[in-house]
Structure 1
Amino acid sequence: MTSLFENTDNEDILALQARLTDEDAGVRRIALIELADLEEPEGLLWLVECLARDPSAEVRAEAARLLEAWEDAPVVAALCQALTDSSPTVQAAAAQSLSLLKSEAAGRLILPWVAHAEVGVRVAAFRALRELRLGDAAPAALDALADPEASVRREAVGVLGWLKHLDALPALARLASDDPDSEVRRAATGALGLASDEQVLPALRQALRDPAWAVREEAATTLGKVGHADAGPALIDALEDDYWQVRLRATRSLGRLRYAQALPALIETLGHRISNLRKEAALALGELHDPGAIAPLQAARDDADPEVRKAVRIALAQLQ
């Protein structure tokens, strides 16, 4: 790893040579940080070399972290290869750096890795692809919905959700209802909100009765995003959920839907012992634009919680 110094006349890089090649891994790691601060192309190549070949996992992990801001093809390729490193710390650092990439060109280099034999590599590759919104990733993500590993299925759902891939709706609906992993069901339930489509309502209603409260919470949120009044009765039922988090999201969604039939249930929620629920109920009542909410809201103007009082004022202003 001395070729860099044989081929450069950059004085700043040459000044770091002794420490970059020091036997002490801690010294090399600090020198790498200083090298990266120079932002020189030659230094970038050294970082790539260190990621691939340095004997210390600590140094390799630092190289992976320092490469996060670079989207050059050799860097992306090296980070992908580092997902197979023998050190979990290096793998995690490489996965994090890959997840921060922004270019479609980088996404195309990452895409082949979603078919890797190692679960962690597939997970990291899909996670990195998620926010890139690379259309070419959709077929692979659809295939991965049947991956035997729940962690891979979750990340594939995320890719399809960010892509707003409408062709995935039937498969996502099946996952939301039937996947054995509650986190996959939760992710799929959230992804069903990618479009206002009536075909997702049955799956969302079923998710609102899921054994896992986090899935029910996601379903209550997504039903408000989908924006169909037909979801109203199921959301009113969800106001009786054993978990206040589900009731809160259902309250919020009823307000978003402006579901008039929810007036009595929301007025009742306005008196709940949990202040966050009272706050959401007040805001939802304001969104209903129903004069029947005025008197209950006026009665709540002296609520003990200042956030509730603020929500009441907002709601009353909407009703005047």
Structure 2
Amino acid sequence: MTTLLDVTDNDDILALQPRLTDEDAGVRRIALIELADLEEPDGLLWLIDRLADDPSEEVRAEAARLLEAWEDAPVVEALCRALTDPSPAVQAAAAQSLSLLKCAEAGRVILPWTGHADSSVRIAAFRALRELRFAEAAPAALQALNDRDASVRREAVGVLGWLKQLDALPALARLASDDADTEVRRAATGALGLASDAQVLPALSQALRDQAWQVREEAATTLGKVGHADAGPALIEALSDDYWQVRLRATRSLGRLRYKAALDPLIETLCHRISNLRKEAALALGELNDKGAIAPLQAAQKDGDPEVRKAVRIALSQLQ
């Protein structure tokens, strides 16, 4: 077992030795916290050692949490290795610390772990790389879109979305349409919003008819972000969706698109029993900038919901 004398001659650190090596795991854990507060490089070496070798999972997990503030390559490597710890608590703490890294250089240390045999390790690695927006992770993420584990595919989609990898659009469109997992289809649908051209409209229109309402909701949102008027008819159709969440996003997107043909359907939505839909319809009518919306909006000034009345006032101010 490594001792403090193996890593330091720092008096402040050595003063903690009795508690850092105490038989009681709780005592060792508190001492580790005090050690981290010293912010000494030699103390960092001890934290790495305890993350790997302490017999208590509680202490190892604490070491993983305390290492989140360090960007050094040895720390990143130690946290990656801790993803294979037999304790789920240690794995979770290491994954969390990796996801908080800000230095892009850490990506080079993390990247090889995207090919690990354990899917939980691959998930954590891609999640950390997504937060780093590490461009060199794009090929691995593209390959991982075919991973057998749905959670890995979902994290890989996140990496490609953050990186705005346009060459990934065909693969993302395939996932949005065909993946067996609802959350993967939803993530891929959202990632298609990284493009601003019409090539993604077929996949998004198909996603707007997905069996899962969560995917339809994401598609309705993304169509508004892409910003093509050709999406208008599909969004108008979505105003009749069985789920109000989908209707709400479709309403919002029609406003963003300023789709004039949506005037009558939006006026109808202005009378919907759900107040959130009425509010969104009012805002969308204001964005359409069509004088035909003035009279219905004036009638809605007496709506029983103050948020709807506020939205109506905003819309009318845009039309005057």
TM-score range, shorter chain: over 0.9
**Deviation of 1:310 (Å):** 1.2
Query: How far off is 1:295 after superposition?
Result: 1.1
Q: Report how far residue 4 of structure 1 moved.
A: 2.6
Residue 30 (structure 1) shift: 1.0
> Which residue of structure 2 lines up, in the alignment, with residue 130 of structure 1?
130
Match of residue 77 from structure 1: 77
Shift of residue 131, structure 1, vs aligned partner: 2.0
User: Secondary structure of 1:104's match?
Assistant: coil
Q: Secondary structure at the match of 1:301?
A: helix
TM-score relative to the length of structure 1:
0.98
Q: Map 1:154-173 onto structure 2 (within 5 A).
A: 154-173=154-173
Contact 1:254 1:284 in 2 (8 A): yes
Q: Distance in 1 between matches of 2:66 and 2:282?
A: 48
Shift of 1:17: 1.3
Q: Which residue in the other structure is 2:255 paired with?
A: 255
Q: Which amino acid aligns with 2:257?
A: L
The percentage of aligned residue pairs carrying the same residue is 83
Alignment RMSD, CA only?
A: 1.1
Aligned residue in 1 for 2:277: 277
- Aligned residue in 2 for 1:117: 117
| Residue 2 of structure 1, CA deviation | 5.0
Q: CA 1:141 to 1:231, structure 2 compared with 1: closer, same or farther past 3 Å?
A: same
- Provide the rounded CA distance (Å) in 2 between the counterparts of 1:272 and 1:108: 53
Is residue 221 of structure 2 the alignment partner of residue 225 of structure 1?
no
Matched ranges for 1:280-295 at <5 A? 280-295=280-295
- Which residue in the other structure is 2:19 paired with? 19
1:56-109 per-position Cα deviation (integer Å, ceiling 9, x unaligned): 011101110111111100000000000000001100110111011111210010
How far 1:11 moved relative to its partner? 3.2
Give the whole-Å Cα distance in 1 for the aligned partners of 2:130 and 2:186: 17
Q: Which moved more, 1:156-165 or 1:1-10?
A: 1-10
Deviation at 1:148, TM superposition (A): 0.9
Aligned twin of 1:186: 186
Greater shift in the superposed pair: 215-224 or 271-280: 271-280
Equivalent residue for 2:237? 237
User: How many angstroms apart in 2 are the aligned matches of 1:88 and 1:197?
Assistant: 43
Aligned in 2, Cα 1:173/1:257: closer, same or farther, shift over 3 Å?
same
1:238-280 deviation line (CA, Å, top 9, x unaligned): 0110111100100000000000100111111111111111111
Give the 4+ runs in structure 1 shifted more than 6 A: none
Contact 1:247–1:277 (CA under 8 A) maintained in structure 2: yes
Give the corresponding residue for 1:200.
200
How far 1:313 moved relative to its partner?
1.1
Q: Is the 8 A contact 1:5 1:17 kept in 2?
A: no
Aligned residues, how many? 320
Give the partner amino acid of 1:166: L
Residues 113 and 125 in structure 1, CA contact (< 8 A), matched pair in contact too: yes
Q: Mean Cα displacement is larger for which, 72-81 or 126-135?
A: 126-135
User: Counterpart of 1:34?
Assistant: 34
Give CA-to-partner distance per residue, 1:30-52, whole Å, 9 cap, x none: 11111111111111111111100
| Distance (whole Å) between structure 1 residues aligned to residue 54 and residue 310 of structure 2 | 58
Structure 2 letter corresponding to 1:207: A
Structure-1 residue corresponding to 2:92: 92
Q: Which runs of 5+ in 1 are unaligned?
A: none
TM-score, normalised to structure 2, is: 0.98
1:139-174: per-residue Cα shift (whole Å, max 9, x none)?
111111111111111000000000000000000000
1:6 to partner: Cα distance: 5.5
Deviation at residue 312 of structure 1 after TM alignment? 1.0
Letter in 2 for 1:44: L
Distance 1:14 1:113 in 2: 35
- The residue aligned with 1:214 is 214
Q: Is the 1:186–1:218 Cα contact (8 Å) retained in structure 2? A: yes
Please report how far the alpha carbon of residue 8 of structure 1 lies from its aligned counterpart in structure 2 after TM superposition. Answer: 3.5
Secondary structure of 1:92's counterpart equals helix
Please report how far the alpha carbon of residue 7 of structure 1 lies from its aligned counterpart in structure 2 after TM superposition. 5.2
Code of the residue aligned with 1:93 in structure 2: it is: A
Unpaired stretches in structure 2, ≥5 consecutive residues = none
Partners of 1:221 and 1:26 lie apart in 2 by: 49
Letter in 2 for 1:202: P
Q: Following the alignment from structure 2 to structure 1, what is the Cα–Cα distance between the partners of residues 6 and 41? A: 15
Instruction: Summarize deviations over 1:215-247 as a string: whole Å, max 9, x none.
Output: 000000000000000000000000110111100
Alignment partners' CA distance in 2, 1:219 and 1:41: 49
